[in-house]
Structure 1
């Protein structure tokens, strides 16, 4: 797959067809490294205290338990590439080109543990991330220093993730968010607070206002690394079998971006992309259990009934 694979085209976007059990195994292996979807860090969710950083069956469980996160995660990475300090830090300190799948799995691990594990496990995971952030420092393209531990930079990353997961769920998710979008924004702020972020949005309106403040930066979307990272996200270093499904997800992610953000990244917004992604997600939902291994483990730990 090349960068041109995300260019506009006249032919309708088709959902890749495949043997469904094989698709399920591929999906679980890609995200967790285990064909059953239960690596050691998922198994740990079944142990620990009977508490959770977020409300069981609440907004974050619904949003993060949905396969819409496949689109939301790609969209979040696209958005992060727009902030000069964030994208320069990725370019200078991340092995995203040579360890694409490893980075995807680490991001998945953070999201899943923070959502479904007990508070102590979430705090321990956050401490490890903070330690890593302390080593990510440098100078941005405008001469301003950046640090992954900077609360303002942490807020941008959190806002980009929150907006992306929420937008993807509203476009592709099948379950209503308890309390609505505002409840999700307010609840999920707890995850960023563990990392040291401050002044986090508590409503969808506050989230949008903060994103617009970042967009007002003259360097927004214009860092030298932005174009390179955006090009990589159009054609990441994935095994051949995953490239066609990824293309569907990436096109849907681009389609849900703010048009000005998509233009800065050079990403087309194709009609029908979200519909095609929904078709692929429906196939995965049919192939997989209605709940993820992580959610089932959390329900076991908390003594909650498994959904029917």
Structure 2
């Protein structure tokens, strides 16, 4: 598919700026300068795999898939439902998350630590009781561990399938190790440091995971009623379908999300690669490693 032509620079600039504005928010340019232009040491150097994974357009699919997967822990979902305000301000939540990822991945070390400290302060105040009477605390290391594992697993698998430059097996191990640095700063105890540990830790949570009514409602909101402009509905639907495709089969079944293997192979994944390539093309001039 040809992505260049006489008017491509103007089209690319408009698309890139529009995507950046949505993902980064009104403070995006200021935060971008703070993250990339502030001198000093970083947690991760330019050659680290976490920069490759988090800087790729596959994150758009991985991010949606991570939210769906994270919702399958009833305590995590209860905390999100009661305290995050994701329905009332979904773009604000996305912008805060993207800024956090950018700061911890690319920003100065003190800025990364401050970002983690801020999140820990928020988590310390989030606690409550589920509809079934179970108590939860967002700062619970076990619960934090699930949120981290679901996120890293989704980002990794999205990059393996849709990334522009898939990494070697050893580099993906290094990615999990890089992500563990951030997880530890957020309060996760003994986070996995390679893919084998990630798989084993994921399996250890399996008996705790199920789709509550809140999880299924959140999935419907994310997939079928997203607050995106009409012009963006079709590409978003492609990204969302691929996020579902990325889920383990049991997770999609828990959330009652339909998946047909033939359609997935013939249509969903090729369309996902196409839209991801388009996003990558649009964002390329703004990309800063």
TM-score normalised over the length of structure 1 = 0.83
- Seen in structure 2, the aligned counterparts of structure 1 residues 143 and 168 have a Cα distance that, compared at 3 Å, is same
Question: Which residue is equivalent to 2:114?
Answer: 124
Name the count of aligned residue pairs: 273
Question: Which residue is equivalent to 2:141?
Answer: 151
User: Is contact 2:126-2:137 (8 Å) kept?
Assistant: yes
Could you list the structure 1 runs, at least 4 aligned residues long, displaced by more than 4 angstroms after superposition.
none
3-state SS of 2:128 partner? strand
RMSD of aligned alpha carbons: 2.0
> Where does the alignment leave 5 or more consecutive residues of structure 2 unmatched?
1-10
User: Is contact 1:20-1:284 (8 Å) kept?
Assistant: no
3-state SS of 1:283 partner? helix
Aligned counterpart in structure 1 of residue 43 of structure 2, from 33, 39, 53: 53
> Where does the alignment leave 5 or more consecutive residues of structure 1 unmatched?
1-18, 296-308
1:28: how far off? 1.4
Question: Which residue is equivalent to 1:81?
Answer: 71
Q: Which moved more, 1:176-185 or 1:94-103?
A: 176-185
Partner Cα separation in structure 1 for residue 147 and residue 54 of structure 2: 17
Aligned counterpart in structure 2 of residue 30 of structure 1, from 22, 25, 28: 22
User: Is contact 1:97-1:236 (8 Å) kept?
Assistant: no
Partner Cα separation in structure 2 for residue 275 and residue 90 of structure 1: 32
1:103: how far off? 0.7
1:278: how far off? 1.1
1:249: how far off? 0.7
3-state SS of 1:134 partner? helix
1:21: how far off? 4.0
Partner Cα separation in structure 2 for residue 157 and residue 203 of structure 1: 17
1:97-125 residue CA offsets vs partner (Å, 9 max, x unmatched):
11011111111011111100011000111
1:62: how far off? 0.6
TM-score normalised over the length of structure 2 = 0.88
Higher helix share: 2
Partner Cα separation in structure 2 for residue 279 and residue 23 of structure 1: 15
Partner Cα separation in structure 2 for residue 223 and residue 162 of structure 1: 23
3-state SS of 1:25 partner? helix
Partner Cα separation in structure 2 for residue 279 and residue 138 of structure 1: 42
- The higher relative CO (CA closer than 8 Å, separation ≥ 6) is in 1
Question: Which residue is equivalent to 2:62?
Answer: 72
User: Is contact 1:113-1:122 (8 Å) kept?
Assistant: yes
Question: Which residue is equivalent to 2:212?
Answer: 223
Question: Which residue is equivalent to 1:194?
Answer: 185
